[in-house]
Chains A and B, each alone.
Chain A
Amino acid sequence: DVKVTQSSRYLVKRTGEKVFLECVQDMDHENMFWYRQDPGLGLRLIYFSYDVKMKEKGDIPEGYSVSREKKERFSLILESASTNQTSMYLCASSLYGTNTEAFFGQGTRLTVV
């Protein structure tokens, strides 16, 4: 079974802090994604990566950056956390190519106070 593991289920951070969300997948997938989930808005793509050190902006990249130094690991960074970044963050991975199934982690609920 594909396993996508996010390092934390719950996080509470203070405004202005630099926050790191980590994601690891064990299936040698080329593609990795970070989504944000908010009630009534579905899942919105923040960033994705199709290879090591490669990244592309999604629909809502402002206030976020990412890092992919190894194939299995994709990190989401909140440079200076703000209260409007309080949300559920979901990491996903998929095989190389297009139109392939995405496998999701269990999510990290981040609260910024």
Chain B
Amino acid sequence: GENVEQHPSTLSVQEGDSAVIKCTYSDSASNYFPWYKQELGKGPQLIIDIRSNVGEKKDQRIAVTLNKTAKHFSLHITETQPEDSAVYFCAATGVDSSYKLIFGSGTRLLVRP
């Protein structure tokens, strides 16, 4: 089945710096790639997503890039702020059912003031 690998597992940056989280997926048939942010004590919340017919998508300080040939996609956060500190998950649609999202293992981002 589909496998999603996410790196790094932890990331610490200075406020104002950029943060990049990378994911790779195994099946070229996957065509939907969302990113979720999970704050302490809460469920994950969608922050941005990208579909396979698009190479890049941007929403204010957040951007996602997709390289279908290499089967990897990345989350970029610019001008990081302390409130960006959270756990971030990437996901890709499953091979045998695109109802299913297969999640990466998560990245704990710490933004130091």
- The interface of chain A, by Cβ under 8 A from chain B, is 4, 31, 35, 40-45, 48, 50, 56, 58-59, 90, 92, 94, 98-99, 101-107
B99→A50 contact, CB < 8 A: yes
Closest to B51 in A: A99
A-B contact count (CB 8 A): 59
**Chain B interface residue number, banded:** 20 to 34
Contact between B93 and A98 (Cβ–Cβ < 8 Å)? yes
Could you list 30 A-B pairs, sorted by A, with CB under 8 Å?
A4-B43, A40-B105, A42-B4, A42-B6, A42-B103, A42-B106, A43-B89, A43-B103, A44-B103, A45-B100, A45-B101, A45-B102, A50-B99, A56-B97, A59-B1, A90-B43, A90-B44, A98-B32, A98-B93, A98-B98, A99-B31, A99-B32, A99-B98, A101-B49, A102-B46, A104-B44, A105-B43, A106-B41, A106-B43, A107-B43
Instruction: Say how far B24's CB is from chain A's closest CB, in angstroms.
Output: 14
Looking at chain A's contact residues, the main secondary structure is strand
Cβ-defined contact, A99 with B43, below 8 A: no
Residues from chain A with Cβ under 8 Å of B51 in the complex: 99
Q: Which 9 A-B pairs have the closest CB atoms?
A: A104-B43, A99-B32, A98-B98, A42-B103, A43-B103, A42-B105, A104-B44, A101-B46, A106-B43
